Each structure stands twice: as structure tokens, then as C-alpha cells.
Amino acid sequence: MKHKYLFAAIVLCLCRFTLFAESDTLRVVSASAEVESSQVSEQRVDVAPMPVGEDRTDSLVSVRIRTVNLHRDTLTTIISTADSTAREVEDIIPADSADRRGHYLDAYIGLGGGSLGYKLKNSDSHTGTLDGGFSALLQLQYAYYFHPNWGVTAGLWFTNYTSHATLKGDFYWNDQVDSDTEQHYNHHAHINSWRERETVHSLAIPIGVQWNKYFNDEIGMYAGLGIAPEFAVHNRYKLTSAELVHKGEYPAWGLTLEDMHEFATKQYSNDPQAKGKLTKVKPAVGIFAEVGGQVFVTKQIDFVFGAYFNCTFNDANSHKDNAFGVKDDDFSFMTEPYTGLWSTDMAGKSHPWEVGVKAGIHWHYIAPPRHEFHTEYDPFTRRDTTVSIVERYDTLYSNRIDTIQGIDYSAMYRKVPVSLEPFNLIFFDLDKANINEEAEEYLQAIYGLLQDKPNQRIAVSGHASTEGNYQHNVRLARRRAENVVKRLIELGIEPERIETRSYGPDVPYDNDANHDLSLDRRVEITPIDD
């Protein structure tokens, strides 16, 4: 009888411990997924508690394993034995008008000012100044843009350089012979006024580089730089004001003669030599620069406006060093027939230059649409078609192994987690980094464990599979880890307790070459033992 009571007491004690163990089991819900077919299996192992002593505690292990088969894609093979009607189909493929590369034609007109760029040589008896004048520009240019912003240019421009020369002072021709008296005398010419306009028309061949950029769909800017050989095509001068007072100083007589037939005030503005062609202007090589804005008008035309500058390197003057003076019947000794100050010994080296503003159009050549032909078959004449479907599957194994260790049943049988199991895994969908419902509930459970261990630090490691681009997978693994860390911080875990790591596709789930790649799309949460 005593043995019966003892056996019954042992049975009741075991049942009591088992009931408490069932009530304290922690379960983490697996994530749901939209699948065409799935297979779920669960294994559960409950370890009966052992008597509680001073140096040991009991543990309860609950294991849930879920296996999901995902139907990924279908490969369809069509074998047709048909009498089909073939026909040629034309595809019209337009050119990409947004591509700024290609061929351009430019046309500009410009207005500005310039000068022949020489200095007048002054002496003690006379002075001279040179002022600039109006200039105009007509330019045609071809440009080829080998880059959306950079191109090379070549073309023609026609422009003019205008100067206004002014003289003041006196000129002397000593020891001349009076044709009437054969007396030696010094000829003195005083300038009342002398102003001359000189113009050189040049044709240049600019060659350079050009840059342009649109800051939005309508407005942009451009700039250019290059060299330009120039050739004079038409050169003129004209005396706009010319009056000389001629005097004869006779040292032998001690007389100065003036206001006579030979020695008088003469106007040269209407003289045949008052206008004419400058002596030969040498070819020159210069530099040019331009900058401005552009406005989109159509997909082929831009309106362009800006400023320009050009200047020659070498001396364009080929003067003969003739002395100043106007040859006539009375004073044939003075010089050769007058051909402008440019041709006298008073003019120095010349470097023509000009600066101004210009406007024009920038026309973009867009290739016509391409015509491509291919053969199509009439689908309504096909018969005897065999369709073979080959289905290919990927299997995703979501293993959830959640372990609670060290449950102290001596303290009213409460759950007291004392450690975090390594390799707690959170899985992600292909090319995704967002936290799904399954991961959310799992993170809630990890938060509860960390709340009971306030000094425990963890590492959150992001991983990705080898599918796709390597650099993309590195960034994807990083985002997965950062999203998990962000959620744990939102739940209340201090940031200093979390260390973020990312391994990209470099650390697979296991070393099995044939393992399921979906296992690599994961985040591992592991404790850090200080």
C-alpha cells in the first residue's frame, strides 16, 4: 500500500512540472509568404525539469522548422509545325534629339569696336594719337560635339578694324631748293587739322574648341577659345579733316614767306590723295575668345547671344617708311603720293583687335529616323503546335531555432532568460531590405530578451546572396542590417549596445556549394561577450 501512495505522489509531481513547462514556452511566429505550394513541419522537444539545486537550472527547448517551396518561374517551349505567311515589317526608329552630341552649324552677326592697334611716333615738333572705331562681324561656323558638352569648331568670319588717327604740330624739310629762285630754303608745314580714318576688312578662319551646357530644359551657356589666321581683303583710308599752313624760311635773306602762291594754307580733304587704298596689309594670326548664353527654341535650334574678343599676334603693317607729306606740283620733294599714315614712318607695329557682342543661331543636325526590317509570320495560320512547360522551383528553408535556457523554476516558475542564443536569423525576400511581419515579431522577442539583460551588447550582421551585381549586393546587405538596427532602437534598445556589420555576399549561410541561396539573404543577431 505504501508503494502505491509513493508512486502516485511521483506521478503528480512530474505532471505539475510538465504543466508549468508548457505554460512558459516562448514561441516565435514564422513569417508568412505568398506561395503557390508550401510544406510545413514542426518538431517540438520538451525536456522535463530536473530537481532544482544550487548549481544547476532546468532548460526548455522549443524548435519550429518551416519549409516553403516557392514557385519561381516557368520555362515554356513552343514547337510549331505550321504553314505560316511571312511578311516584311518596317520599324521606324527616330534619333534621340536629347543627345547633344553630333554636328552643328552656327551663324552669328556682331557689333562692337576695335582698332588697327598701332602707335604713332611722336617727336618734339609734332604729336599723334590713335582712336578706335566701329566694327561689325559676320560669322559662319561648323561644330562637331564629340561629348554632350565639348566640341571642336572651324569656320569663317568677316570683320573690320577701324582707327581714327589725329596729328598736331609742325614738320620741317630743310635745305630744299626753290624752283623759282634756286635759292635754298627750309620748308615748314604747320598742321591746323589732320584727322584720318583707316579701315581694314579681314577674312579669318577660326579654329578652336567650344563648350556648352544646359542648366535646365530651356537655358544654358557656352564658351569658346581658339586661333584664327586672318587675311586682309579690302583696305581703305580717308582724310576727314586735313589743313596745312606752308611757310618758306630763307636763311640767306633772313625772311619767312607765307600767304603766297607757293606758301599758303591748303585744304587736302578734297585732294585726290585724300582717300585711297592702304598699302599692303600682311596676313596675321590671332586668338579669339567668346562666352554667352543660349536659349532652347526647338529640338534643332538654339538662340545664342554673347560677347567676343580677338587680337592678332604678329605685326600686320608693311609700311614703306615714307616721310609724312602730300606730294603736289608745288612741293614735289615732300614724299611719294600720299597713301595714309599707315604707310608713313610715323606708324609703328600694328596688332589689330576688336571686342563686341554677337547673336545668332545654333542649328543641330538630327539624323533622320532609321528604317529596320524584320520578318513576321501571320499567327492565325499556325497549326500543330506543341507546348512544353518546364517548371523550375527554388526552395526557401526558413529555419527558426529559438532557445530559452536557464529557467529558474524555484522563483514561482517564471521565465528568466539569461543569455541570447547565437545565430538568430532574420530572412529577407529577393532584393528586399524591408522588415516583414515575421521579422517584426521576432525582433519583439529579441527586445524582450535584451530588456532582461541590460548589459548585453549584440552584433547585427547583414548578408546577401551572390545573385546579381556584387556592389549592389554589398549595399543591399548593409541596408538590411541598418533596417534591423533602426527597428531595435525604435523598440527601445540603446544604440551603444548595438554594433552594425555588413558582409555583402562574401559569407554564405554554409559551405555547401548547392545550398539554397535564399538562406544567404539574412541578418544574423549575435551576442557580443565583453
Distance CA 525, CA 523 (A): 7
Per the CB < 8 A criterion, the answer to whether 460 and 483 are in contact is no
Average pLDDT rounded to a whole number, residues 128-144: 94
Residue-wise pLDDT tens digits, 273-288 = 899 998 888 999 999 9
Is a pLDDT exceeding 90 seen at residue 372? no
Name 519's Cβ contacts closer than 8 Å, sequence gap at least 6.
396, 397, 427, 508, 509, 510
Domains observed in the chain: 2-73+400-528 (3.30.1330.60), 102-368 (2.40.160.20)
Give 78's strand partners: 387
Query: How far is it, in rounded angstroms, from Cα 302 to Cα 295?
Result: 5
CA 13 – CA 85 distance, rounded (Å): 87
C-alpha cell at 170: 609742325
**18-22, 91-95, 398-402: least confidently modelled range:** 18-22
**Higher confidence at residue 89 or residue 293?**
293
CA distance from start to end of the chain? 58
Average pLDDT on 362-383 reads 74
DSSP β-ladder status, 424-427 and 370-377: unpaired
Report the C-alpha gap between 358 and 464 in whole angstroms: 59
Calculate the dihedral angle through the C-alpha atoms of 245, 249, 254, 257, rounding to the nearest 10 degrees. Answer: -40
Q: Which of 89-98, 152-161, 247-256, 485-494 has the highest mean pLDDT?
A: 152-161
Per DSSP, 503 falls in state -
Helix (H) or strand (E) holding 276: strand 275-276
The amino acid at 49: P
pLDDT digits (tens, 9 = 90+) for 467-525: 888 889 999 999 999 999 999 999 999 999 999 999 999 888 887 777 788 888 999 99
Mean pLDDT to the nearest integer, 177-206: 92
**Is-above-0.75 flag for pTM?**
no
The whole-angstrom separation of Cα 157 and Cα 140 is 6
Provide the residue type at 376 as one letter. E
